[in-house]
């Protein structure tokens, strides 16, 4: 007798997730299907992960080819896909070197470790504190959650790692005030994701870069959510023409396969010398092949330019919705990372969308977040807007 999937999961899987009551079985492009064959248009894409859409044929082929050739040998040896992936990333940004791991949290662990190690190597071990942002999100491992500026994520896990100070995002005066002789870096998301899709104010990232330079601090950008084309540039910081010393990636890096990366500048990279850090699975051949193909498709096929154009269109349509519905307090975002702030909780709207065949997401109780595959079409955007318009009329 087959046991219903939902029951099986609720019996045997750790209870860390409050899931929606659908079982997804298949995906293609911007669509997913549940076990009963019901189709949904996906406006969250596995939380900004499947930027090329679900089951991209070229990524599937790259994975399949590599899985049939060599899956894993550890980092005791060289492998071609990892080396090529590192080059593909480094050639497209400020960095000189890449370290590979398996998730966003791990990428941030690596960023925190290399920052402390950099100053330790320079005989300044007293510089170990990192200034992070309120409402930030950097992941759930102990160091990453310690760097996260949201109390609800830390609850129950004290004592968290010491050495993090928090200031409001977009507040230079608070940043200046938080500086101590022990400060070694500033860590932030160029656009806050989980915190509510919050964009940097004009000139803010420039001012943070300047602050870091003046006080000999490293600047760490967490681009786990904003990277890989999501905002209409390969990396969000390109919009603001500000380069960090360290950048972290994960989510969309391998279009659905688990991979994280920490990229460091020429000056910082040597702090990760042999033995300084490691990961058994980091940059393993199959995942590296998936990521390499993802980078190629993103940069060869004009998808990022399409994301920028469709992101502008999406925001225009959301603004149209805002004019019609007073419960919408704000529409914001960049590229295809969009947020709609409501004057009430958004969970009912998410459920109503699900019932009408659209997957969307709500964060911070009252902010709807949209992060569709970058290949979403204006027609799919229009269909979602019409759906939201109907739902908001019945509120
Ligand atoms: C999702 C996210 C993380 C954590 O990534 P995991 O892969 O879940 O560990 C870290 N930082 C940001 C900005 C994220 O959006």
Rounded distance, CA 263 to CA 282, Å? Answer: 13
Using the mean position of ligand 1's atoms as its centre, give its distance from the Cα of residue 230 in Å: 14
Nearest CA to ligand 1 atom 11: 138
Residues 6+ apart with CB under 8 A from 325: 389, 392, 393
Range list for CATH 3.40.640.10 in the chain: 58-300
Which pLDDT band, with edges at 50, 70 and 90, does 211 fall under? very high
Range list for CATH 3.90.1150.10 in the chain: 2-56+302-393
Percent of the chain with pLDDT over 70: 99
pLDDT digits (tens, 9 = 90+) for 223-267: 999 999 999 999 999 999 999 999 999 999 999 999 999 999 999
Once rounded to an integer, what is the mean pLDDT over residues 281-306?
97
Q: Is 164 helix (H, G, I), strand (E, B) or coil?
A: strand
Using the mean position of ligand 1's atoms as its centre, give its distance from the Cα of residue 34 in Å: 26
- The CATH architecture that domain 2-56+302-393 belongs to is Alpha-Beta Complex (3.90)
CA distances from 85 to 18, 161, 233 (A): 35, 32, 19
Atom of ligand 1 lying closest to residue 139 CA: 4
Query: At 247, phi and psi to the nearest 5?
Result: -135, 140
Using the mean position of ligand 1's atoms as its centre, give its distance from the Cα of residue 131 in Å: 18
Rounded distance, CA 63 to CA 60, Å? Answer: 5
Atom of ligand 1 lying closest to residue 108 CA: 10
pLDDT of residue 3: 78
Once rounded to an integer, what is the mean pLDDT over residues 274-298?
98
Rounded distance, CA 97 to CA 92, Å? Answer: 12
The overall average pLDDT reported for the chain is 97
- The fold of 58-300 is 3.40.640
Pairing mode, strands 367-370 and 361-363: antiparallel
Using the mean position of ligand 1's atoms as its centre, give its distance from the Cα of residue 103 in Å: 7
Atom of ligand 1 lying closest to residue 103 CA: 7
In eight-state DSSP terms, residue 299 is: H
pLDDT digits (tens, 9 = 90+) for 4-52: 999 999 999 999 999 999 999 999 999 999 999 999 999 999 999 999 9
pLDDT digits (tens, 9 = 90+) for 348-360: 999 999 999 999 9
pLDDT digits (tens, 9 = 90+) for 139-187: 999 999 999 999 999 999 999 999 999 999 999 999 999 999 999 999 9
CA dihedral 256, 335, 375, 302 (to 10 degrees): -100
Rounded distance, CA 121 to CA 34, Å? Answer: 52
- Residue given tokens 């007293």 in the structure block: 126
Nearest CA to ligand 1 atom 15: 225
Once rounded to an integer, what is the mean pLDDT over residues 205-217?
98
Which pLDDT band, with edges at 50, 70 and 90, does 395 fall under? confident
pLDDT of residue 283: 98
pLDDT digits (tens, 9 = 90+) for 176-196: 999 999 999 999 999 999 999
Residues 6+ apart with CB under 8 A from 107: 101, 224, 248, 249, 250, 260, 261, 262
Ligand 1: residues whose CB is within 6 Å? 103-105, 108, 137-139, 189, 193-194, 222, 224-225, 250-251
pLDDT digits (tens, 9 = 90+) for 55-78: 999 999 999 999 999 999 999 999
CA distances from 382 to 33, 176, 183, 385 (A): 20, 44, 48, 5
**Would you say residue 1 has pLDDT above 60?**
no
Query: At 368, phi and psi to the nearest 5?
Result: -80, 130
**Would you say residue 279 has pLDDT above 60?**
yes
pLDDT digits (tens, 9 = 90+) for 80-132: 999 999 999 999 999 999 999 999 999 999 999 999 999 999 999 999 999 99
């Amino acid at each position: 007798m087959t046991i219903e999937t939902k029951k099986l999961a609720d019996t045997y899987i750790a209870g860390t997730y409050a899931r929606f009551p659908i079982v997804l079985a298949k995906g293609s492009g911007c669509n997913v299907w549940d076990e009963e064959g019901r189709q949904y248009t996906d406006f969250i894409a596995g939380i900004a992960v499947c930027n090329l859409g679900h089951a991209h044929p070229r990524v599937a082929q790259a994975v399949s080819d590599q899985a049939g050739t060599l899956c894993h040998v550890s980092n005791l040896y060289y492998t071609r896909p990892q080396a090529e992936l590192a080059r593909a990333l480094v050639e497209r940004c400020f960095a000189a070197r890449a370290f590979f791991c398996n998730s966003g949290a791990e990428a941030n662990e690596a960023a925190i470790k290399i920052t402390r190690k950099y100053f330790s190597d320079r005989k300044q071990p007293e510089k170990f504190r990192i200034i992070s942002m309120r409402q930030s999100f950097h992941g759930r491992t102990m160091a990453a959650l310690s760097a996260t500026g949201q109390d609800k994520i830390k609850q129950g896990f004290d004592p968290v790692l010491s050495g993090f100070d928090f200031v409001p995002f977009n507040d230079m005066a608070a940043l200046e005030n938080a500086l101590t002789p022990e400060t070694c870096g500033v860590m932030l998301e160029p656009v806050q994701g989980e915190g509510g899709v919050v964009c940097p104010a004009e000139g803010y990232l420039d001012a943070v870069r300047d602050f870091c330079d003046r006080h000999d601090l490293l600047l760490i950008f967490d681009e786990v959510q904003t990277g890989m084309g999501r905002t209409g540039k390969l990396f969000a910081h390109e919009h603001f023409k500000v380069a960090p010393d360290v950048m972290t990636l994960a989510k969309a890096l391998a279009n659905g396969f688990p991979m994280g990366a920490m990229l460091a500048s020429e000056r910082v990279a040597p702090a990760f010398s042999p033995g300084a850090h490691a990961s058994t699975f980091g940059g393993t051949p199959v995942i590296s092949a998936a990521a390499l193909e993802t980078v190629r498709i993103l940069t060869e096929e004009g998808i990022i330019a399409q994301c920028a154009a469709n992101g502008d269109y999406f925001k225009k349509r959301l603004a149209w919705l805002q004019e019609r519905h007073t419960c919408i307090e704000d529409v914001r975002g960049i590229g295809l990372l969009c947020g709609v702030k409501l004057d009430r909780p958004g969970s009912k709207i998410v459920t109503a969308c699900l019932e009408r065949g659209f997957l969307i997401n709500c964060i911070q109780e009252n902010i709807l977040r949209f992060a569709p595959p970058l290949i979403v079409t204006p027609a799919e955007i229009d269909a979602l807007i019409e759906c939201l318009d109907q739902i908001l009329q019945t509120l």
